[in-house]
Amino acid sequence: MVENSELRKAGLKVTLPRVKILQMLDSAGLRHMSAEDVYKALMEAGEDVGLATVYRVLTQFEAAGLVVRHNFDGGHAVFELADGGHHDHMVCVDTGEVIEFIDPAIEKRQKEIVAEHGFELVDHNLVLYVRKKS
């Protein structure tokens, strides 16, 4: 269950749209939802929230670190709850299925590579596009 205190902590007023959107992200079956997905889910649930608000709120949630925005291939962004831990993604090009994973070896190498170039790692984005072995 998502807590309203998370909103307060983020300096966001606890409004109905924000609470509903947060719950939707938490309870909907899909781990990764586009703004449109969230909007449609809210409509079906009888909640009257504007699409513009969904975009605004998701952007605020991202800024607050409550959700993470992903730009997988294919035009539209998807969001997922920032359940604490970081992870990367594997996307099946045939089914669209998304699998989350984390690999310590890769994480470690990334930091090393960046350091070798005189930088520090701020963030990273790794998506593996895969297909079921035939």
Partner DNA sequence: ATGAATGCAAAAACTTTGCATGACG
Partner DNA sequence: CGTCATGCAAAGTTTTTGCATTCAT
Q: Is 36 in the site for its own copies (CB under 8 A)?
A: no
* Token pair listed for 47: 């909640």
φ/ψ bin of 100: left (φ > 0), alpha (ψ from -120 to 50), beta (otherwise): beta
Helix (H) or strand (E) holding 111: helix 104-116
The first and second tokens of residue 96, run together, are 């669209």
Which of the listed partners (its own copies, DNA, none) does 25 bind, with a CB threshold of 5 to 8 Å by partner kind? none
Instruction: Decide: is 132 part of the binding site for its own copies (CB under 8 A).
Output: yes
Instruction: State the residues that interact with DNA by CB under 7 A.
Output: 8, 12-18, 34-36, 48-53, 55-57, 59, 75-77
- Pairing of the two strands 98-101 and 78-81: unpaired
Q: Figure out which of the listed residues 1, 3, 73, 85 binds its own copies, where binding follows CB under 8 A.
A: 73
Instruction: Indicate the residue among 50 and 101 with the shorter CB distance to its own copies.
Output: 101
116 assigned ligand-binding residue:
no
Nearer CB in complex with DNA: 16/45? 16
C-alpha span between 24 and 1 (Å, rounded) = 11
Q: Which does 45 bind (CB under 5 to 8 A by kind): DNA, its own copies, none?
A: none
Per-residue CA distances from 108 to 105, 118, 127 (Å)? 5, 16, 17
Residue 114's binding partner among its own copies, DNA, none (Cβ under 5 to 8 angstroms by kind) is its own copies
